[in-house]
Amino acid sequence: MEVHTTDMEDIIESYATMDELEGQLGDRFYRCHRGYLVNMAHIVRYDADSIFLSSGEKVYLTRKKHNEFVKAYMWYLQNGGVSCV
């Protein structure tokens, strides 16, 4: 698995599974697709099927997870999370 940093300069390789990584990272990260965990502090905006990050990357958001994501992101923002917006 590859971990991309916000400046897109560093790519870190990890041999942890997505489930393991998700458990270690906690509520600041959201699993929007089976292959993506996003840092909620770097979300610029989202729409029905995508999350746009401060790095310029667009990450796919499954339809099944859209409502869950919105709830998680709103909870994050209401509980002291910082957004890039």
Joined tokens for residue 23:
């458990």
pLDDT in tens, 11-54: 667 677 878 888 888 888 899 888 888 899 999 999 999 999 99
Give the pLDDT confidence score for residue 19 in this predicted structure. 86
Helix runs in 4-65, H state only: 18-25
Q: Domain locations in the chain?
A: 2-78
Average pLDDT value for residue range 45-71: 93
Residue 22: predicted pLDDT? 83
> Does residue 3 surpass a pLDDT of 80?
no
For domain 2-78, give the CATH superfamily.
Answer: LytTr DNA-binding domain (2.40.50.1020)
Residue partners of 10: CB distance under 8 A and separation at least 6? 4
- The per-residue pLDDT for 85 is 47
